[in-house]
């Protein structure tokens, strides 16, 4: 089973599991500030679930690419929308600051 390394935890999930769902099921606070209440609930339009993912995941789909091409995201940043990402192997997840997780300051990372 793939492992997700996040906030000092090691979570297991099925191959192909949705990254957002797994994180939320394990109590990971995926959203920053009021984005916890103001988000699209995983349909890929708000962009607030953006994280940096290292490891084997699905290719970015059109919703992921489209939303991250719009401000305040920029497509050249190494981010993914958790709600549009399937876990295919072991992955490490990092969250950055900003309402959309678009910032440069790390809020949490795989080991803490």
**Contact between 70 and 47 (Cβ < 8 Å):** yes
Given the complex with ligand FES, which of 47 and 98 has the nearer CB atom?
47
* H/E run at residue 51: strand 50-57
Q: Residue 62 phi/psi, 5° resolution?
A: -70, -35
Among 7, 32, 48, 102, binds ligand FES (CB under 6 A): 48
Nearest approach, Cβ of residue 53 and ligand FES (Å): 13
Compute the distance between CA of residue 49 and CA of residue 23 in angstroms, rounded to an integer: 11
Among 22, 46, 53, 87, the residue binding ligand FES under the rule CB under 6 A is: 46
- Smallest gap from Cβ 91 to ligand FES, in A, equals 16
């Amino acid at each position: 089973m793939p492992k997700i390394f996040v906030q000092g935890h090691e979570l297991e999930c099925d191959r192909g599991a949705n990254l957002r769902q797994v994180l939320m099921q394990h109590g990971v606070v995926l959203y920053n500030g009021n984005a916890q209440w103001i988000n699209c609930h995983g349909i890929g339009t708000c962009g607030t679930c953006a994280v940096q993912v290292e490891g084997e995941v699905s290719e970015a789909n059109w919703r992921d690419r489209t939303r991250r091409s719009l401000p305040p995201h920029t497509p050249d940043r190494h981010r993914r929308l958790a709600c549009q990402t399937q876990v295919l192997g072991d992955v490490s997840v990092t969250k950055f600051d900003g309402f959309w997780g678009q910032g440069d300051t790390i809020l949490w990372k795989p080991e803490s």
